């Protein structure tokens, strides 16, 4: 009997089998959860559907979180299929490559708006639609952030600002939705070689430096993050909300 038997979880942001969101999804599936996934476009659908099929999941839906109409349609479909929902995993972020590699002072207005919209506002938009499906019995929402939200990380630039906005949104949503017994938390994962990370210049050298300096002397895995996702999405964290939980082999505690 799994911890998530009978629980229904929407997972947003799987891109391939190296995605952090997929690591969380695998952990949820292992514990008995019924899952649903989104995809942005046809190219990503060709990656997401086989993964969903591999765990016997047929609930795979289109949704671009920059479109309120598509978010509405997704949650209307979820309501029709499931009625209620127990948890949401939000693993969505994007910034133009130029705004990551250029000097931060040269961030464009359009690039700033794009990064904040996809990486931070989408959490608020998703939480708004999840609320009526969770209001009766409560639920949990978990998003993914990074240390660049609070410290300067080379080549992270506007995404660091977006993640800072995301972390503030977690706290405000936790306060706002707590009356409905809906908890909102974030996982701050160490660097992992994902599709999104491939857009960050010099990412390989970042991985090497991380493993050298982190107290556990290794890189973080999607399994590490998946296990923490289980904790935050499930009953073991029933009194935890508005928190940023680090899964980074202790890197964030170091002074250098």
Tens-digit pLDDT profile for residues 76-90: 999 999 999 999 999
Would you say residue 256 lies in a domain? no
In a domain, 251, yes or no: no
What is the pLDDT at residue 174? Answer: 98
To which residue do tokens 């993964």 refer? 51
The label of the residue with tokens 């936790």 reads 174
The domain that holds 13 is classified in CATH as 3.40.50.720
Q: What is the pLDDT of residues 87-138, one digit of tens each?
A: 999 999 999 999 998 999 999 999 999 999 999 999 999 999 999 999 889 9
165, two tokens: 């906005």
39 an active-site residue? no
Whether 175 is in a domain gets the answer yes
Cβ distance 28 to 230 under 8 Å? yes
Quick check: is 30 in a domain?
yes
Q: Is residue 232 part of a domain?
A: yes
* Paired sense of beta strands 87-90 and 8-12, if any: parallel
| CB distance 129 to 71 below 8 Å | yes
DSSP percent split of the chain into helix, strand, coil, nearest 5: 50, 15, 35
pLDDT for the residue numbered 198: 56
What's the per-residue H, E or C state across 70-82?
HHHHHHHHHHHHH
Model pLDDT for residues 135-164, shown as the tens digit of each residue = 889 999 999 999 999 999 888 999 999 999
Q: Give the mean pLDDT of the chain.
A: 94
* Cα–Cα distance, 113 to 173 (Å, whole number): 21
Residue 231: active-site member: no
| pLDDT greater than 70 at residue 203 | no
Cα gap 206→203, rounded to integer Å = 5
**Who has greater pLDDT, 29 or 135?**
29
Burial class (CB in 10 A: 0-12, 13-18, 19+), 227: middle
Q: Write down the catalytic residue from 39, 61, 156, 246.
A: 156
- Is 52 contained in some domain? yes
Helix (H) or strand (E) holding 154: none
Q: Which one, of 131, 144, 28, lies nearest residue 85 by Cα?
A: 131
CA-based Rg of the chain, rounded to a whole angstrom?
Answer: 17
Buried b or exposed e, range 201-222, using 16+ CB within 10 angstroms: eeeeebbeebbeebeeeebbbb
The Cα 124–Cα 122 span in angstroms is: 5
Residue 190 domain-assigned (yes or no): yes
C-beta neighbour count of 69 within 10 angstroms: 9
Asked, for residue 23, whether it belongs to a domain, the answer is yes
Q: Is the pLDDT of residue 239 over 60?
A: yes
Question: Is the whole-model pTM more than 0.75?
Answer: yes
Residue of 39, 61, 121, 146 with catalytic role: 146
d(CA 135, CA 179): 9
- Domain tally for the chain? 1
What is d(CA 41, CA 144) in angstroms, rounded to the nearest whole number?
A: 21
Range of the domain at 126: 8-246
Predicted confidence (pLDDT) at residue 234 exceeds the cutoff of 90: yes
């Amino acid at each position: 009997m799994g911890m998530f038997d009978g629980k229904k979880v929407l997972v947003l942001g799987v891109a391939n089998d190296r995605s952090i969101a997929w690591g969380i999804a695998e952990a949820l599936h292992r514990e008995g959860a019924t899952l649903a996934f989104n995809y942005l476009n046809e190219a990503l659908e060709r990656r997401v559907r086989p993964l969903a099929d591999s765990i016997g999941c047929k609930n795979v839906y289109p949704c671009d979180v920059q479109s309120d109409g598509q978010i509405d349609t997704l949650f209307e479909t979820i309501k029709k299929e499931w009625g209620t929902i127990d948890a949401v995993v939000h693993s969505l972020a994007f910034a133009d490559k130029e705004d990551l590699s250029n000097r931060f002072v040269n961030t464009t207005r359009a690039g700033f708006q794009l990064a904040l919209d996809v990486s931070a506002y989408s959490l608020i938009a998703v939480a708004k639609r999840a609320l009526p499906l969770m209001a009766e019995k409560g639920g949990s929402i978990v998003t993914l952030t990074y240390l660049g939200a609070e410290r300067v990380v080379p080549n992270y630039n506007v995404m660091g600002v977006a993640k800072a906005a995301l972390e503030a949104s977690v706290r405000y949503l936790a306060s706002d939705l707590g009356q409905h017994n809906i908890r909102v938390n974030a996982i701050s994962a160490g660097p992992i070689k994902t599709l999104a990370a491939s857009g960050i210049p010099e990412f390989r050298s970042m991985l090497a430096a991380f493993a050298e300096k982190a107290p556990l002397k290794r890189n973080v895995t999607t399994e590490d993050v998946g296990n923490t996702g289980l904790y935050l999405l499930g009953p073991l964290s029933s009194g935890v909300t508005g928190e940023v939980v680090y899964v980074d082999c202790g890197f964030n505690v170091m002074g250098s």
